[in-house]
Amino acid sequence: MVTYSGRMSKDEDRVFKALADPTRRFLLDLLFQGDGRTLTELESELEMTRFGVMKHLRVLEDAGLVVTRRQGREKLHFLNPVPIRLIHDRWIDKYTERQVSALADLKTKLEETG
Amino acid sequence: MTTTEMQNLTVQVYQVFIKATPEQIWDAITKPEFTERYFHGVRSDFDLRPGGHYRQTMGDTDQLATQGEVLDADPPRRLSHTWTSLYDPEMAVEEPSRVTWEIEARDDGTALLTVTHDQLERAPKTAESVAGGWSYILSGLKTVLETGEPLAG
């Protein structure tokens, strides 16, 4: 059985892995520019086989970065930015905060000695 | 972000897994004492019947942030309502859009929350505004339910 904390880090692994590929980052940028696109529309922007694009989209979907919706006979792909927000809140905020406080400390030190 | 960089925002879909029961998530969406902790400080007020009112007020004031009408309420699974942004005069005159919350329980103790904000064709300013906000709100909602603490800052 997968515990929740195990599941959470697994979810994060999937997001980082999905983002660690230039084609997949390009696909996310395409959806950012124009959301709700079909496979055919996305494929036309890439020098890659349809199967290759499908594989990348599947990785993005498994990571929760892309959500698909059926609309009539078409399957539309939507960018879901929430996992990136969660990574931001969990990782980026934490470390940039320290940097800012380190700079604040440095400023205090410099002003004390100066 | 400018409108030329971000186009086709007429349908927006957001998803997040939350370690909580569907009932807890439902309460966090519909009860003002919860929403003020993650939804930019606004208090949501729903009359959970088709045709019932939906409104959000800013903090303790009577000032309306958004308002609309409940289209469909099926606790704790599905809630759909119209949405007009009132926090900006240019958005307030746009046509109402639609927000749908769907909660799906998983067998690992989590639930998948999907928010779809659509029918934004005649509300381009609202579309652009909420596109930056929903992931922040859902991340905050997850934090409130999983830790009991609102997001710092």
In three-state secondary structure terms, A28 is helix
pLDDT in tens, chain B (153 residues): 444 444 578 999 999 999 999 999 999 999 999 999 999 999 999 999 999 999 999 987 889 999 999 999 999 999 999 999 999 999 999 999 999 999 999 999 999 999 999 999 999 999 999 998 999 999 999 999 998 765 544
Instruction: Summarize pLDDT for A82-93 with one digit per residue, the tens.
Output: 999 999 888 877
Instruction: Please tell me the distance from the alpha carbon of residue A77 to that of residue A37, in angstroms, as a whole number.
Output: 5
Work out the number of other CB atoms within 10 angstroms of the CB of residue B11. 20
Amino acid at A35: D
* Residue partners of B106: CB distance under 8 A and separation at least 6: B17, B112
Per-residue confidence (pLDDT) for residue B113, from 0 to 100: 98
Q: In sequence order, what are the residues at sequence separation of 6 or more whose Cβ sits closer than 8 angstroms to the Cβ of residue A114?
A: none
User: Which residues of B are less than 8 Å from A36 in CB distance?
Assistant: 8, 10-11
Q: How far is CA A89 from CA A17, A95, B35, B45, B142, in A?
A: 18, 10, 19, 28, 11
How far, in Å, CA of B118 to CA of A45, rounded? 26
Gyration radius from chain B CA atoms:
15
Long-range Cβ pairs for the range A50-55 (8 Å, 24+)? A53/A27
Q: Which residue in the block uniquely carries the two structure tokens 């499908």?
A: A54
Asked if residues B40 and B57 have their Cβ atoms less than 8 Å apart, the reply is no
Question: pTM here?
Answer: 0.85
Specify the CATH architecture of the domain A1-80: Orthogonal Bundle (1.10)
Helix (H) or strand (E) holding A32: helix A22-33
Cα four-point dihedral sign B76, B139, B15, B125: positive
Predicted pLDDT of residue A63? 96
Calpha distance A112→B143 (Å, rounded): 39
Most B CBs within 10 A among A80, A84, A88, hence the mutation to make, goes to A80
pLDDT over threshold 90, residue A103? no
Distance from CA of A113 to the nearest CA of B (A): 32
Collect all residues of chain B within an 8 Å Cβ-Cβ radius of residue A90. none
pLDDT of residue A105: 78
Closest by Cα among A50, A13, A44, A12 to A30: A44
ipTM over 0.90: no
pLDDT in tens, A58-91: 999 999 999 999 989 999 999 999 999 999 888 8
**Are the C-beta atoms of A82 and A62 separated by less than 8 Å?**
no
- Give pLDDT, residue B142: 95
pLDDT at B119: 97
Higher pLDDT, B7 or A107: A107
A85 touches chain B (CB under 8 A): yes
- Domains detected in chain B: 12-147 (3.30.530.20)
Query: CA-CA distance, B86 to B68, in Å (whole number)?
Result: 10
Average pLDDT over residues A7-31: 93
